[in-house]
Structure 1
Amino acid sequence: MKSKKRTTIYDIAEKLNIAASSVSRALSNSNHVNEATKKLVLKTAAELNYKRNTLASNLRKGKSKTIGVVVPFINQNFFSNVIAGIEEASYQKGYNLIICQSNELQSKEIKCVNTLINQHVDCIVISLSVDSSDHQHLQNVIDNGIELIQFDRVADELETLKVINDNEQASFEAVSHMIEQGYKRIALLEGPQNLQIFRQRKVGYLNALKKYDMPILDELIIENAWTKELGANATRKLLNLPEPPDAIFASTSDFSALGVLEVASVMGIKVPSQLGICGYSNEAFTEITSPSITTIDQFSVYMGKTVANLYFQEMENKDETEVVPKIISIKPKLLIRSSTQRKTV
C-alpha cells in the first residue's frame, strides 16, 4: 500500500491561493499576518492533517533541539540509567535524544558520531568504547561547532565538558574494606589501560595495598577482564594458582564479578568465607545473586542529569562572564553486601 504524502505548507498555500511565506508566518503566529488569515490557515492545516516539521523549523533557527548520545551498550544498567537521567533533564528543556550504541567498537563509535554530526544535533554526549585510541572523530565534533560532553570513559587530551566519577577513591575504599574483612591475597581484574577510568581504578587498588603494607603481586593482576566471560576465564586462572587469591576485586564491571561468582560456585568455593568478591557499577542483578555482590554505585541517573544540565548551563552562559566548570566529578558509594562480609558488624 502506497503511503500517503505528507502535507506541506505549499499544499495549504495552494488550497488557499496565498503565498507559502504567508502560511509559514500564520503557523508561527507572526504579527505580520492578520487574524482572519491566521484562523483560515490553521483551519485548513487541521483539515489537511498538517504536521509541523519541528526539526526543519529548529534548524532554520540555528538549533535542532536534539542531543545525540553514544554509549557502549544501551542495555547495561549503568548506561541506561545515565540515558534516563539525560532524557529527564532534556525533556524539561524541550530537547529530544538520539541514542546510539558502539558495542565497544571504535569503528562503530566513529559511524555513530558521524551520523549525529550529519543529523545536526546541538550536542553529542559520549562514553568511549574499550578499544578507543584515536579521537579524531571527537575533534570533528568540536570542529563542526557541536558541543561535546564526555562522561565516565573520557579522552584526557580533549578539553571538553566532562562528567566523571572519582574512580580512584572508590576503588581504594573497596579494597580497603576487603582488607579490613581479613582478606590477605586480593586479586584485581582490570580493564583496558588505554581508558582513564580503568587506570584510576588500578591506582586505587594499588594505593590500598600500599596503605596496609600488603605485597603487590603481578600474578594477582589480570588484564582486560571486563566482561562476564573474561571475568570467568580470569577467575579460573587465579583459582588454579599454587597460592590462589582469597578475594577478587572486579574493578571493570559487575558482569565481570558475576563471572567470578559463577566460577566459584562451580568449583565449590564458598563466598564470602573462602573468597570475597567485589564488583563495580551496581547493576540490578547484584542485589539478587546468592550471595548478593558488594559493588560501587556510580549514581548513574544523577550523572545523566548532571550531563544534560551542564550542557544547558554552558548554553546559558555562552555570552556571560560566569565560567562553567569543565569537569564535574561525582563521588561513588561503596555498597557492602554479603559477598565480602566475613566479619559481622
Structure 2
Amino acid sequence: MSSKKRTTIYDIAEKLNIAPSSVSRALSNSPLVKEATKKLILKTAEELNYKINTIASNLRKGQSNTIGVIVPRINQNFFADVIAGIEEASYRQGYNLIICQSNESYEREVQCVNTLINQQVDCIVVSLSVETTDYKHLESVLDRNIELIQFDRVAENIETLKVLNDNHQASMEAVSHLIEQGYKRIALLEGPQNLNIFRKRKEGYLDALKNHGLPVIEELMLANAWTTELGAEATRKLLSLPQPPDAIFASTSDFAALGVLQVATEMNFKVPQQLGICGYSNENFTEITNPSVTTIDQHSVYMGKTIANLFLDELKNTDTSVAPKTVSIKPKLIIRNSTLKNGK
C-alpha cells in the first residue's frame, strides 16, 4: 500500500526558494504579496497538487462552517426530517453538520454540547432530552459566543433563537375533532411536564374539553407515557377502568399511539367504533397500521429549513440589542381511520 505525502506550503516555499510565510500570504490572497509573486506561487501550488486545508483555514479565520445538531433520537421521523431540512438549507451556503443524539439523557446531552464546543462549531441547534431540567450547559454555549438555536423542546427562560410548533393549538384541534366524532371520555397520555411541548399539549387538551363543556376526569390523564411500551402500559390501565375511555389522545408521540393500538387489539376493543386513537408527529408507520392512525404533522423538514435560515440571517444581523426571535409553526391535523367513528 503506497502512501503519497501531502504537499505543504513548505514544499512550495522550498521549490521557489522563498519564505513559507510568503506562500501562506499568497494563498490567502494577501495584498502584501506582489502580483507576479502571487501568480508564480499559485502556479507552483497547482503543479504540486497542493490542497488547501479548509478546516484549518476556517479555524484561523475564527469559523468552522459547521453546525452542530443535538436531538433526543435520530431514528424518529420528526427529528430525522428536521435534520434533513437543516442540512438542505445550510449546505447551499457552505455549511456541514455534526449530528449528536442524547438518547433522552441529560448527561449525554451535556457531553454532546461539550464535544461541539471543542469542535469549534459556529452554531449549536438543540432539542432537549426528557431528563433536562438544568440549563448550565446551554448558558456555557452562549458564554463562548457560539450561536444557539433551540427547537421543539426548549428551555423557555434561556434567551436564544427558538423554532417551535404551536402545540397548544394542535392539541385543541385534535381533541375537538374527537369530540365532534362523538367521543365523550377522552383520555390523555401526557409527557414529562418539565418540557414545554408536553405542557402546551396538555393545556390544549384541557381547553378543548372546557370549550365543549366536557368535564376534566383526573383518572383519564396518565403521565409520562411517551414510548410504545409506556403507551401500552398506560392503555392497559385505562381500558381496565370500570368506565374506560372511548378515545385516547397520545399527545406524546405516535409511538405511544402505536402502544395504544396494540393493547386495544389485544383487549378486543374495536377501533374506531369503541375506541378512538390520535397520535402526534405523523411518523411513517401511522399510514400503514390497521386502522391508519390520526395524527399531527409538525412540518418537520420546513422546521429544519427555518432553523438553518434563522442562523444564516443572524450572521448578517449586527444589532445585538434586539431580543432573539421565536418562530412558531402551525402543525396540521391529519385525520385517518382511527378516529372516524361516524365515518367522515
TM-score (norm 2): 0.94
1:17-41 per-position Cα deviation (integer Å, ceiling 9, x unaligned) = 2222222233234444445544543
Displacement of 1:51: 2.5
Q: Which residue of 1 aligns with 2:305?
A: 305
2:292 is aligned with 1:292: yes
Q: Which residue of 2 aligns with 1:334?
A: 333
1:132-162 per-position Cα deviation (integer Å, ceiling 9, x unaligned) = 0100000000000111110000001101111
What are the residue-to-residue correspondences of 1:152-301 with 2, within 5 Å? 152-301=152-301
Rounded Cα–Cα distance in structure 1 between residues aligned with 2:2 and 2:140: 40
Rounded Cα–Cα distance in structure 2 between residues aligned with 1:7 and 1:136: 44
Q: Does the CA contact (< 8 Å) of 2:162 and 2:325 recur in 1?
A: yes
Rounded Cα–Cα distance in structure 1 between residues aligned with 2:167 and 2:117: 31
2:72 is aligned with 1:96: no
Secondary structure of the residue aligned to 1:306 is helix
Rounded Cα–Cα distance in structure 2 between residues aligned with 1:154 and 1:298: 16
Secondary structure of the residue aligned to 2:341 is coil
- Runs of 5+ consecutive residues of structure 2 not aligned to the other structure: none
Rounded Cα–Cα distance in structure 1 between residues aligned with 2:166 and 2:146: 27
Structure 1 residues 171, 308: CA separation in 2 closer, same or farther (over 3 Å shift)? same
Q: Does the CA contact (< 8 Å) of 1:70 and 1:101 recur in 2?
A: yes
Rounded Cα–Cα distance in structure 2 between residues aligned with 1:129 and 1:2: 47
Which amino acid is the alignment partner of residue 290 of structure 1? N
What are the residue-to-residue correspondences of 1:83-162 with 2, within 5 Å? 83-162=83-162
Rounded Cα–Cα distance in structure 1 between residues aligned with 2:101 and 2:189: 24
Q: Which residue of 2 aligns with 1:344?
A: 343
What's the Cα RMSD here? 1.9
Aligned positions, number: 344
Displacement of 1:290: 1.3
Rounded Cα–Cα distance in structure 2 between residues aligned with 1:148 and 1:54: 24
After TM superposition, which residue ranges in structure 1, 4 or more long, deviate above 6 angstroms? none
Rounded Cα–Cα distance in structure 2 between residues aligned with 1:204 and 1:289: 26
- Runs of 5+ consecutive residues of structure 1 not aligned to the other structure: none
